[in-house]
Amino acid sequence: MVKVVKFGGSSLASAGQFEKVANIIHSDESRKYVVPSAPGKRTKSDTKVTDMLYACYALAEADKDYEPSLMKIKARYDEIIKGLNLDLSLDKEFDTIRANFKKHAGKDYAASRGEYLNGIVMANYLGFEFLDAAEVVFFDSEGNFLANETNTALSNRLKDMGKVVLPGFYGSTTDGRVKTFSRGGSDITGSILARAAKADMYENWTDVSGFLVADPRIVENPVTINTITYRELRELSYMGATVLHEDAVFPVRESGIPINIKNTNRPEDEGTMIVESTCRTPDYTITGIAGKKGFVSINIEKDMMNSEIGFGRKILEAFEMNGISFEHMPSGIDTLTVFVHQPEFEGKEQAVLSAIHRLCEPDSIEIDTGLALIAVVGRGMRSNRGVAGRMFAALAHNNINIRMIDQGSSELNIIIGVADEDFETAIKSIYDMFVLTKL
């Protein structure tokens, strides 16, 4: 049995948290590969080390005095090292960081140092070998992740190593520059390592005991999802569920490696298992609810639209040429609606509208703002009749007007659009219908 374990920033925010993590790792001999994040917040009012690094580098980039900020970051690590009674100094590492900041090495380099330094501390504390992610995780010159090259290089390096700590979040480009994944990218590093190590399990440790059916900031004490498939996870992560980075499923999905979301502060909890497929009957009709605010809809009307070949392509071309991606595109016989992120659209709206008129010659265009999209996801929806009807009844009972409905052919999810101000009430209504009343 081989396990890859990734620990989030809250799990590594202090010496006390490091001790918890070490106890978890040493309690299971199969936990051979460790991916640490940068130290997170120790308290609600604290600052994450990654944010401290961004702020420090901004001063360096503006040729202002960044030394006091850098020393505050060093103090965070020194506090952890002292609390763990380690014979370790990061002075040389900070000398290198100081010099690279002065040379304006880049924001990605700056942000990556949080994981890099925490990896050194973690390897020293565990007695594991340290492997710099910049040596084995690769991106092309455009910043695109090179999956096959990374898998080959990392697999070869692991053959000659024992137990390893590989810092998350970053790698390097073909010209040697440090490149990071998007925020939360340590989850992706853990997935990449699991694939390269041919692991049996990827454990992702955080500060919650798995995926919750709904956002706890909206629904009070939502239940935990016991088992979820990769596809369900992708849908929920994309629509705002934040326990795991939405791209973290791809490397392990190819190899059929399950992910277990676990709680560092409650290691006895089973957490959530994320799998390719399962014969387990879900506890509820739905697996989860997630959503986002801040969308705008562009409704295009044109008589005989359905008989005009290439009409949809031309509409999307108007968005594409302005660098805007679309979220959903429900349509009727003579109407087609495109949903996009409002902040992304606002600065380019007139250019997009002009392009639509030029390319498609519509009869009319209407814009509706302040919309939220909610995804109701669940493999149990396929075998239960009337899911949409019950959901709409719950929303109608709470006087919520549905502005858009979109259901995929897989019957895995239903997307609804509501006004931003109805967002929280809508999620509570759906949760009450399918979880509290268990329909």
Among 219, 242, 275, the domain-final residue is: 275
Same domain, 269 and 196: yes
Number of compact structural domains in the chain? 2
Domain end residue (candidates: 275, 301, 325): 275
211 lies in which domain range? 3-275
If phi over 0 gives left and psi between -120 and 50 gives alpha, with beta otherwise, what is residue 338?
A: beta
Beta bridge partners of 317: none
Q: Is there a single domain that holds both residue 46 and residue 148?
A: yes
Whether 123 is in a domain gets the answer yes
Residue 404 dihedral angles phi and psi, to the nearest 5°: -160, 145
Sign of CA dihedral 224, 13, 203, 155: positive
Question: What kind and span of H or E run contains 115?
Answer: helix 107-126
Whether residue 281 lies inside any domain: the answer is: no
Boundary (domain end) residue, out of 275, 310, 342: 275
Crossing angle between the packed helical segments 311-320 and 349-360, to the nearest 10 degrees = 150
Same domain, 40 and 114: yes
Task: Kindly report, residue by residue over 4-15, the tens digit of the pLDDT.
Answer: 999 999 999 999
Residues 260 and 381 occupy one common structural domain: no
**Residue 58 falls inside a structural domain:** yes
pLDDT digits (tens, 9 = 90+) for 393-437: 999 999 999 988 887 666 688 899 999 999 999 999 999 999 888
Q: Is 17 exposed, middle or buried (0-12, 13-18, 19+ CB in 10 A)?
A: buried
- The 10 Å Cβ neighbour count of residue 221 is 6
Q: Is 208 helix (H, G, I), strand (E, B) or coil?
A: coil
Residue 243 maps to a domain: yes
Side chain identity, residue 119: G
CATH value at residue 71? 3.40.1160.10
Phi/psi for 172 (5° steps) reads -145, 155
Could you tell me the pTM of the whole model? 0.82
Tell me how far apart the alpha carbons of residues 282 and 295 are, in angstroms, rounded to a whole number: 31
State the average pLDDT for the chain. 92
Looking at the structure, tell me whether residues 259 and 304 fall in a common domain.
no
Residues 262 and 345 in one domain: no
What pLDDT score does 296 carry? Answer: 95
Q: Are residues 265 and 334 in the same domain?
A: no
Bridge partner list, 347: none
The letter for the amino acid at 250 is F
